[in-house]
Amino acid sequence: MSLFGRAVAEFVGTAVVVAAVVGSGIMASSLSSDAGLGLLINQLATVFALGVVIAVLMPVSGAHINPAVTVALALRRAVSVAEATLYILAQLLGGMAGVALAHVMFGAAAWEISTNNRLTTGTFIGEIVATAGLIAIILILVHRGNESLIPFLAPVWIGSGFLFTSSTSFANPAVTVGRMFTESSSGIQPLAGAGFIGAQLVGMLVALVLVVSMSRTPKGATVDR
């Protein structure tokens, strides 16, 4: 597959995930005023869509669908700078397209600027935890040669993060950018979104440090694969 074709896969995959996040949020709001039920609907739709997208696109592009994943892999020299740059651009555009798709399906304007300020000290820490866990899981599985588990374990982590982190586990700069352009319950005000992206980058760096520390092999030792 050409680099352009892989970037297209990243665009489509990110768009589908963001459409699932935003669309399920709109659907949940229309079905019930119960915040807990709405969160559960949002969680299930996101987890299922993420699992399907990763499983389908892993053989095509690696299914990063997340700039934090792409940057982490680039720092580990698993992808080139040129590939990472094009992937990130495709992911960001995919996030915007996913919001537009969800809005059009539900009869809203393609894009709206969110006024939902989610940024607090707690949610900033929550995003660090959510992103660090996600990146660490992916890097550890890649290091061990267990990439086939990523379509299962990455969505499981995100799904659990919906319920145990204060930020509801965005853990993805492209998803965060997309959600700045929806006034639905899934939205995030742009300045708060920038704070979330900062937390996500910190989480990525934390994951890299942890994975490097855990993957060091003492002299004379062998690595079990």
54-58, 115-119, 218-222: segment of lowest average pLDDT = 218-222
Q: Render pLDDT for 160-192 as a digit per residue (tens, 0 to 9).
A: 999 999 999 999 999 999 999 999 999 999 999
Is there a contact between 127 and 196 (Cβ–Cβ < 8 Å)?
yes
Q: Render pLDDT for 9-40 as a digit per residue (tens, 0 to 9).
A: 999 999 999 999 999 999 999 998 899 999 99
pLDDT grade for 225, boundaries at 50, 70 and 90:
very low
pLDDT recorded at residue 215: 73
Helix orientation angle between 67-75 and 190-215, rounded to the nearest 10 degrees: 30
* DSSP type of residue 22: H
> Could you identify the residue written with the tokens 């040669």?
145
> Could you identify the residue written with the tokens 């053989």?
59
Q: What mean pLDDT is predicted for residues 138-158? A: 95
Q: What mean pLDDT is predicted for residues 87-101? A: 98
pLDDT recorded at residue 128: 98
Residue 74 and residue 35: Cα distance in Å, rounded?
A: 38
Here the tokens at position 82 are 């040129």
Q: What mean pLDDT is predicted for residues 47-54? A: 97
Backbone angles phi, psi at 119, to 5 degrees: -85, 120
Q: What mean pLDDT is predicted for residues 93-103? A: 98
Q: What mean pLDDT is predicted for residues 110-133? A: 97
Mean pLDDT of the chain: 94
Q: Render pLDDT for 193-219 as a digit per residue (tens, 0 to 9).
A: 999 999 999 999 999 999 988 876 555
Residue 179 and residue 191: Cα distance in Å, rounded?
A: 12
pLDDT recorded at residue 223: 45
- pTM beyond 0.95: no
Ordered structural domains, the chain, with CATH: 3-214 (1.20.1080.10)
For the chain, percent of residues with pLDDT exceeding 70: 96
61 has pLDDT over 50: yes
